[in-house]
Amino acid sequence: MKLFCVPYAGGSANGYLKWRRLLDPNIELLPLELKGRGTRFLEEFYVDFDEMVDDLYQNLIQQLDGEAYTLFGHSMGALAVYKLVVKIQKNGVQPPQHVFISGREAPRYRFMRNVHPISHLPEQEFLKELEKYGGLAKEIIENEELLQILTPIIRSDFRLIEQLHVTNIIEKLYCNVTILNGLQDITDEKRMTDWYDYVDGDFELIHYEGGHFFIDSAMDEVIYKINESVGKIKKFT
């Protein structure tokens, strides 16, 4: 079973590599890299969110070989995964067996609760806003050299989200979906349960201890859930 993962804002595919030691040996971890970071650091940033989804789509279909697969995305990556699956369905491409949506409210909301546009702010104000609502890991904030590399990436990613056209039109995912959320994140319970409207399949919402980056602080529990869900797929296919 293949597991394709999409990074959060400012993140890269490398952020998922630490999952390998906990994932079931039968799960092949395949993080999808975004432009302007990691192995694609020299590539220009995306112009808009649609370009990012198109790029992810091309990257994904090149790696599909008929084997069953699942998708995971956190925060910005979760919204990208949602739009990616919608595109997959429209194009008649092999669909995922399961989708994991992590740390992101339903698509009808552009921003998390109490969050406003910040990509235009001067650097210190921008970082202060990120830190305020947990949008940046502490180890990054305290590393000035790393900040110089990551700040332009994060700013670009936030700009993509801020420019995103939000609609009340619901495009459903025709597969089983698990929504993951941190109990101390700045999300709203209703905004998370609203994902139910976007799913035509089994729906599950799970809360974990931790803030926005609960996928790190509660990594063992998150991976356990992935292993469990994938195990059920293999059992019934």
Whether 75 is a known active-site residue: answer yes
Written as one string, the DSSP assignment of the chain is -EEEEE--TT--GGGGGGGGGTS-TT-EEEEPPPTTSGGGTTSPPPSSHHHHHHHHHHHHHTT--S--EEEEEETHHHHHHHHHHHHHHHHTPPPPSEEEEES---TT-SS-TT----TTS-HHHHHHHHHHTT-S-HHHHT-HHHHHHHHHHHHHHHHHHHTPPP-S----B-SEEEEEEETTSS--HHHHHGGGGGBSS-EEEEEESSSTTHHHHTHHHHHHHHHHHHHHHHHT-
Catalytic residue chosen out of the listed positions 75, 102, 156, 229 = 75
Catalytic positions, please? 75
